[in-house]
Chains A and B, each alone.
Chain A
Amino acid sequence: MRSKVAQRILDKTSPDVKIFVRLYADIVVRVNELMKEKGWTQKELAEKMGKKPSEINRWLKGEHNFTLRSIAKLEAELGEPILSVFGSNRHVDDKEITPDTKQIIPSS
């Protein structure tokens, strides 16, 4: 069951808006999960990246739009993939990201 008002609005919302919203949330959730896994605070992440804590806070609290460069910096520091593009075989440090499974396997 879905609200008729909600269904009416969803029907006219463009697909790119829906994709953007989900992708942006995926990035924020992924970065937060990686920070939890590593036990890092926003302040510690900022120190490692040589940035002000307020800048990292803006990234993660929605006051700053992520750019590809900011995502790349986060990936580099966290050492884990945040974004995966279908068909690519990127490496983060010495790990290979497989596009089909999004799992990380050590490079030989």
Chain B
Amino acid sequence: MNTFVIELWDDEGSLCTFYSVKWDDAIDNETDIFFDKYDNIPEYEEATGELLSFILYVIGDDHGAKDELFNRHENEVVGLPVKGKLKLGSFFYHYPQFPLRIYALKITQNIVILFNGGVKDGDTNQTSSLNIRWKEACSFARRIDEAIRAKWIIVDEANHVLKSSDNDDEIIL
């Protein structure tokens, strides 16, 4: 099983801390890979700035990860344990025909783990080219969910942070 690291992505917002995941042999985390890729495609450059502003300002500073801002794919999360309380979905950026999706796991209203994403070019994740990203996000989310329930990851709700069971900021799964 491949190893990945959960690393801090942004903690400058007053309401929500964001983490990302990085494969053990990768240089960049999945969220940076997503934003860097679409920022460099002229067709999606503006949308990339909008989505990033939505995440860092709206979720991070203004509202936190409220349910109405988080699009939960209940019917598609077949891989997640039913006992888990975590929600995997994409941020629900409220704008018509917005082309980009980024997947995220809501740990609490103040802690979110961001994954990769892509262009939504189908009605569902299964029919869209996002399918592979969705499956990958499910896989990350399943392992994170298991680690939280096994208490290998400690959720510090008061300080909006995640820590390993030995109180380390670096979390390796």
Main secondary structure of the interface of B (DSSP, over half): helix
Main secondary structure of the interface of A (DSSP, over half): helix
Number of residue pairs A-B, CB distance < 8 angstroms: 91
Among A5, A25, A32, A61, contact of B54 (Cβ-Cβ < 8 Å): A25
Complex contacts, B97 vs chain A, CB 8 Å: 63
Among B29, B52, B68, contact of A13 (Cβ-Cβ < 8 Å): B52
Q: Which of B48, B58, B69, B93 has the most CB of A within 10 A?
A: B58
A3-B32 in contact (CB<8A) = yes
**Residues 42-72 of chain B: 1 if any A CB is under 8 Å from the residue's CB, otherwise 0?**
0000101110111011100011001011000
Number of B interface residues at 8 Å Cβ cutoff, please give it: 35
Complex contacts, A13 vs chain B, CB 8 Å: 49-50, 52-53
Complex contacts, B31 vs chain A, CB 8 Å: 3
A68 interface residue (CB < 8 Å to B): no
B23 interface residue (CB < 8 Å to A): no
Complexed CA–CA distance, A65 and B94 (Å): 8
Q: Which of B5-13, B121-129, B138-146 contacts A (4 or more CB under 8 A)?
A: B5-13
Interface size of A as a range: 20 to 34
Complex contacts, A1 vs chain B, CB 8 Å: 8, 10-12
A-B contact pairs, 19 of them (CB 8 A): A2-B12, A3-B9, A5-B32, A6-B56, A9-B35, A10-B52, A10-B53, A10-B56, A17-B49, A17-B50, A17-B53, A21-B50, A21-B93, A22-B58, A32-B68, A60-B68, A62-B95, A63-B96, A65-B96
